[in-house]
Structures are given as structure tokens and as C-alpha cells.
Structure 1
Amino acid sequence: MKKVFYLLVFLVGTLGNLSAQMVLFEGTFEEAEEKAKEEKKDLFVDFYADWCGPCKAMASEVFTRPEVGEYFNAHFICLQVNVEAKENANLAKTYRVIALPTMVFIRSGKELRRIEGVKAPEAFIKEAKIALGEELSFDQLYDKFKKDKKNFELQQQLLLDAPVFMSSLQGYDREKWASRIESLFPDYLKNKKLENMVNEQDFTILSMYHSQVSKQDPIFDFVVAHFNEYAQIVGKEQVSGYLIGLNNSYIIQLCKKGDLAYKDRLGRVNRDLKEVYSGITFGSLSVLDAITLLSDATYYLYKQDERKFFENMDKYLAGMGDKAELEDYTQSLEDLSVAYNGNLSKTAYTKSIVWITKALEKEMSPQLRTRLLMMMGQCFQSIDNKEKAKQAYNQAFLVSAEISDKMQMKQIQETIQQCLLGL
């Protein structure tokens, strides 16, 4: 088994109320300009193409949101321009449309600001406010901060806005801003002090910029000590998710290094972290038992003790029972393949077949089902059961026909055919 396939989860935003969505002007660019002049508004132009997936995503998932419609309808005449239409060629050239989607804010024929690529609703509205001068751009905010470096509000806003700003940069610009932003968080933390950071904005900053735990970790310990306060402000689930993610990642990191200090860290689950973990369940297992089994399994896996790895995982999955999720199986398969670089024993291949069979009982995308069936074929092939391998590959080929991305479907089917030829 040389490859482990990954599940991509796409989060699709809910559509807004049609009556509150962005109103799109029906007419030419010149007519839209005249309409904007009459209503004393600015012009928003969405340059798109019918084949452009991100353009469709903006139109269906962002333009339709009530909050977007409310703001844009009040401040702009909104127009969509198909760049593939011959009559729009000069307009696309005038506004330098070289990537799609390109969205331009215009006042009296002059560009105020542009957006390239997909933006989330909140970020999209923010871009519009920057175009109108209602908010500062990231560059302007940073220039203001340089003149007033003790201003916590400016530092806070820069840290909150940085991820979205950085996502739009490439090359030298990205490197330049990355080095500037890198020093902001420790300075902010040092000057403002943790005791003054029990609020929603600063929790967001901590969760964005403090993403790894160390043995002596004052930030992690502070949030744990003030768990109930943070939970009241931003919600228990969000605070628990942040702390559990950090703690579990640190435990697994220690396990992979063969550091038995992970056992000391596990002890905190029933002590100061008990309330943090109280919202999750593991079938018939206690939280501590479940996390201990997973941790021990990982420790033995990276010690190349296959028997103890499977022993702990079997206990975990048995305790989970019907509550075992798809990811419980796929993550175990991934860990196994990575630890052994895809070169498993026949016992491991046989065990993997059992896990794949269980995983296939769950709901999943055609892509993942296809890839799990391919993995099953590889496992059967590795234990010299060519007939079962052939069945798995053939089933994978049939399921792959349900994949909507036809290019991806074709590539996968070609790989399956190569696997069948190799039997």
C-alpha cells in the first residue's frame, strides 16, 4: 500500500434570502455608470466567465448573502460583465482583467479598489468599505501603527486582518509582510499581557497565532485557568476545541518521538483539563481511556511494534462501537502507511482490509469511496489474493464514474486500469 488518500471537506455557505441578495443591474456598463450617477452611488463590477468555478461560487454563495446585499445595494450599482462576450473585450482590457474572478469598485470611471479571487462574505464587505474609505486597508493600518506602536487597538486589528491580507499576496510581497507580521504577535503579547486578553478578539488572536504547545506553556495554561470566562464570551465548544486540539497534537508529537512524557500529559485530562474534555464522548470508553489508547497506539506504531499498535486500536474501536466515525478508520490507515512508508506486513495488510471494510459502511464522497476501494485492492494484491484485488479495483472503477470532476475521474480510472494490468 504505497499511497494513502485524503478526504477533502468542503464547507458550503448557506444561501441568503433572495429578497435580500445583491441586486444586479440589467444593462450595459455605460448604462450602469449613468444609473450610479443618478443615484449618487459608486459602481461595482464583477468580471466573470461561464466556465469559471470561483466566479460561480462568488455569485451563488456570497452575492446571495443578506448582509452582502444590504451593504452593496445601499452603496453600489452592481453589474456583472462576461469577459468572453466580444462587446466586453475593451472593457476587460481597460480594467486589466487577467485573472478571474476580478471585481472592481469604480467611481466616475476611476478604479477605487479591486479584488481578485474568492472572498468570504465578511471579507468581501470589508473590501467594499475600504474602497469607500470607511475602513483602512491593511497597508494604511500598518503605516498608522508604525507611528503609534503602543496602540493595542491597532495591533489587535492588524493581527486579526493579517491572515486574509496574506492570502492575497505572492512572492516578495508575501515574504516582506510575513516578516513584519511575525514580530507583531510576541510584541502584542508582551505589552498587553495575558490578563488583559480575556475577550473575544484576543481569543481569536491566540487561537490563530499560538498553534503549538510546549512543555512549559503560559498561554495554554492561562486559557485553561480562565476556561469558564472564555467559554462565556466565545462559547464552550470553541474554547474546548482550541485547547483539545493543542493538547492532543502535543501528546501525539511526543508519542511519535518516543517520549514517554506523553503519559504525564495524559494525566492532565482528568485534572485541570477535565472540564475542557467534558463535552466529548467515546462510546463506552471514558475520555481518558480513549485518548490513552490512541496515544499508546501511536507510541507503539512509531516504535515499530505492530502487535501493540493493533492491540490498542482494536480496544479503541471496540469501545467506540457504532460511534466509530469514518475518520477513526481513515486516520488509522494513514498513520499506519506513513509510519511504515507504505511497506506493511501481511498481518497489517489483512488488518487494513478489515478497517477499510468498516469504513466503506459509512457515508462518504465518491472520491473517497473510490480511493478506499483502490486501497483495498492494493491490500489484497499484497497478500496474493488477486481475485479479491480484481473485484476491489473493478468496484473502484464503477464508483469513480460518480465523480463530478471529469478530469479527476479520468486520472483515477487510468490509475485503476494500471493496477488491474499489474495483477
Structure 2
Amino acid sequence: MKKLVVAAFALGLSLSVPAQTDFRSISFQEAVNAARQEQKMVFIDFYTDWCGPCKKMARETFPQKKVGEYMNKNFVCLKLNAEKEGKELAARFEVKAYPTFVILDTNEKVQADLKGFMDGDTFIAKVKAGLNPECSPERMAERYQAGERTPELVNNYAFHMMEQRKEKEGFEIIDGYFNSLSDAQRLDKANVFLFTRYTMSIDEPKSRFMVEHRNEFDASVKEDIADRISRLYRAKAVTYFSGYQLRSNLYKEEEYLALKKEIFDLGLDKKYKYAPMFRLIEGRLTCDDDAYVAMCAKEYDSLEELDRSLLIMNLTRLIKTEDPAILKKMSEFIRTHLREMAPSCISVASRALDDIESRMNKK
């Protein structure tokens, strides 16, 4: 059965409905009693109506099959609005940020306290680590300094470093571990986190290894590997599509053409519409501003939904002009499509529109 994916880069829906996290409609005391009877712990998701990361957890993480299976097996789960029915419990457990996830034993003692949005793999790993005394920050440091290099420790310790905003130290742990492994060890599914969690660019050594050996990973993780490869290539393509490479004087034709060739060679264009994106990237190099605005209008409907928003949000980076006629066309193009954009993108697009129209009105 395929995983249910509600994220922006969804690859498709399974015909069967996967397991989801079972948040029960019961009281706190009923949850504690149920946990005693079922030999589980109590998990509480404290959220608010206005919390964006809370909604993202509900939309993207808790519905995942692997998350649901893990949570339902180990916890009696509650979802409480910290400003409404969960207000007293939120105060009792000193909840001050959202979302906050509190795990209690059947004596109502806090065993773990986690905060913020996490993807499925990260969430499961953080819950497990939070309940494991061997994964406390102090104990992890001791184990690492003593020379332990198990996949679980490396993953949890590096992630802890990054949560403390020590990204450099975190990636030194990850890269040192990756470099110490043989090819066979890198392909072990216990080490798949190196690729699915800690690859930031398609150009780094871990990513290149992942691409070159993509068909050699265990069947149980191939979908995750394929998804990560797809995301990394698109992220690199977006640096060209958004105008970043061009405006930062980083554009090199041979690198762009190599990226384009790899995307087609890997068949990534079969699941994501890259052709209109590439036409616009290349059009920006050959068209004047007036022709490029017209090209944006022509290609807009051919783009993936995410790329439509990106085009509008980056239009003022792509087109640097003070020509009133071109500014007017840019304004008309954005206004035509503003209502179609995702709410999270509208504010950025609106600022771009205000900038364009303020310059128009000065002429």
C-alpha cells in the first residue's frame, strides 16, 4: 500500500485508506484509564485554531501510515485546543508554544515534551528519543565522545545539535559518519536517514551517492529515496527558475544544461512538469522584458501549481525594469492570478505587487 502523502510534492494517493493517528474523543481521565487498561502511555497534541504548524502536523504528519501505526500501538492519543477545552491541562503542563506534544505515563507524569512541526520520520524519531534515557543530550554526548557510532546515536545526536542551532557541528557528525562507511554500509536501510534527512543539495557527496546507487537501496526505502531525489533536483531547478542564479551572477550554462539533462535522464519529468519551467528559465536568457512578461502569461497554466506561485512571487527579481508599460503588464499579470495563489504565498506576492505599482505611479 502506498503512503498517504498530503505534502506539496505528493506523488499520488493510494486507493486504500492508510492507518492514521487515532485521536480519541474522550476526556483526559478516560484517556489515562484507557492507557492503563491497554498498557500504553497518553499522548496529547496541544494546538490552537490560529497555529499554522499545528494545522500542518494535522494535515501532513499525523495522517501518515507509519506515524499512525506507531502512535496507535504505543499511545492513547488526545488532541486538545490549548485555548478552549484543553486550557487547564495546558496550564498544568506549562504549555507555552504550539504545537506542543506531551507524553504522560499512567501516573500522569510527563515523560517527554516535544514542540513544533516535524515530518513523519523526524516525529517518530523524536518521540522515541524523548522516551529513551540513553538519548538525553548529556548521555548522547558521553556516548559519542566515547566513540560510539551507531546509526541511532548519530542520527539523534546530530539532530539535537541542529535543534540547538549548531548546524556546523551537526553536519560534521553526519559527514564524518558517512565518510567512515563502506558503500555496502551506506546502502543499509539503518543508514537511510543520511539521505532522507541530511541531504540539503543535489551536488553534495551524500546526494551524488544516493542518485548513483538509487536502485541498490532496500525495497522498503526506495520510495523515500526516490522522493528525496525528486525534491533535491526540483530545489536546484528552482534556483534557476526563481532568477536567483542569474541575479546573483552564479549562472553557468554548462551547469544548467547538466542539471536539465540529469532530470530528463532520471525520468523526473514524468512525474513533475519540468518542460514549462525550463522554457521560462531559457526564455529569461533570450527574451527582452516585454517578451518575457508575455511568455510568463502564456506558460502560466502549463506550470505545476507550486511553480505558478513561485513565478509570481519572484517576478520582480526576474524582471528588473522601470519602464511604466512593462510594470503595468507585470501588475496585470499578478492581479489576474493573485486569487488563485495559496494563502501562504499571497502576502509575498502582494508586496511584490505594491512595489511594482508604487513604481508605476511615480512615472
TM-score by length of 2: 0.67
Deviation, structure 1 residue 277? 8.3
Deviation, structure 1 residue 325? 1.9
CA 115–377 in structure 1, closer or farther in 2 if over 3 Å, else same: same
Distance 2:177 2:348 in 1: 46
Q: Secondary structure at the match of 2:340?
A: coil
**Which position in structure 2 is the counterpart of 1:10?**
8
Distance 2:315 2:19 in 1: 45
The alignment covers a number of residue pairs equal to 328
User: Deviations for 1:190-221, whole angstroms, at most 9, x for unmatched residues?
Assistant: 5x55676454555763794796879xx9x999
CA 125–257 in structure 1, closer or farther in 2 if over 3 Å, else same: closer
Q: How many percent of aligned residue pairs carry the same amino acid?
A: 20
**Which position in structure 2 is the counterpart of 1:109?**
108
Work out whether 1:399 is the aligned partner of 2:337. Answer: yes
Q: Secondary structure at the match of 2:165?
A: helix
Deviation, structure 1 residue 92? 1.2
C-alpha contact 2:81 2:87 (8 A) present in aligned 1: no
Q: Secondary structure at the match of 1:401?
A: helix
- Map 1:217-232 to 2 at 5 A: 227=212, 231-232=215-216
Q: Secondary structure at the match of 1:20?
A: coil
**Which position in structure 2 is the counterpart of 1:157?**
152
- What are structure 2's unaligned runs of at least 5 residues? 1-6
Deviates more, 1:55-64 or 1:195-204: 195-204
**Which position in structure 1 is the counterpart of 2:357?**
417
Q: Secondary structure at the match of 1:174?
A: coil
CA 332–163 in structure 1, closer or farther in 2 if over 3 Å, else same: farther
Opposite residue 232 of structure 1, the aligned amino acid is E
Deviation, structure 1 residue 14? 7.1
Distance 2:68 2:58 in 1: 12
User: Deviations for 1:92-115, whole angstroms, at most 9, x for unmatched residues?
Assistant: 122121111111111122111121
Of residues 83, 98, 101, the one that matches 1:100 is 98
- Map 1:353-372 to 2 at 5 A: 353=293, 355-360=295-300, 362-365=302-305, 367-368=309-310, 370-371=312-313
CA 131–18 in structure 1, closer or farther in 2 if over 3 Å, else same: farther
User: Deviations for 1:226-254, whole angstroms, at most 9, x for unmatched residues?
Assistant: 95x66333669859959x97xx99xx99x
Opposite residue 179 of structure 1, the aligned amino acid is E
User: Deviations for 1:252-296, whole angstroms, at most 9, x for unmatched residues?
Assistant: 99xx78999x79xx9xx8xxxx999854599xxxxxxxxxxxxxx
**Which position in structure 2 is the counterpart of 1:328?**
278
CA 14–127 in structure 1, closer or farther in 2 if over 3 Å, else same: farther
Deviation, structure 1 residue 389? 4.3
**Which position in structure 2 is the counterpart of 1:27?**
26
C-alpha contact 1:48 1:82 (8 A) present in aligned 2: yes
Deviation, structure 1 residue 56? 1.6
Distance 1:15 1:281 in 2: 18
**Which position in structure 2 is the counterpart of 1:179?**
169
Distance 2:347 2:228 in 1: 40
Of residues 194, 211, 215, the one that matches 1:205 is 194
Deviates more, 1:363-372 or 1:19-28: 363-372
- What are structure 1's unaligned runs of at least 5 residues? 1-8, 283-322, 337-344
Work out whether 1:349 is the aligned partner of 2:289. Answer: yes
Distance 1:210 1:62 in 2: 21
Distance 2:302 2:64 in 1: 33
CA 62–15 in structure 1, closer or farther in 2 if over 3 Å, else same: farther
**Which position in structure 2 is the counterpart of 1:56?**
55
CA RMSD of aligned residues (A): 4.9
Deviation, structure 1 residue 182? 1.6
C-alpha contact 1:376 1:389 (8 A) present in aligned 2: no
Opposite residue 189 of structure 1, the aligned amino acid is N
CA 419–402 in structure 1, closer or farther in 2 if over 3 Å, else same: farther
**Which position in structure 2 is the counterpart of 1:307?**
none
Distance 2:69 2:29 in 1: 24
Opposite residue 422 of structure 1, the aligned amino acid is K
Deviation, structure 1 residue 15? 7.7
Work out whether 1:88 is the aligned partner of 2:83. Answer: no
Deviation, structure 1 residue 46? 0.5
C-alpha contact 2:43 2:77 (8 A) present in aligned 1: yes
Q: Secondary structure at the match of 2:43?
A: strand
Opposite residue 341 of structure 2, the aligned amino acid is I
Q: Which has the higher contact order (CA 8 A, sep 6+)?
A: 1
Q: Which has the larger radius of gyration?
A: 1
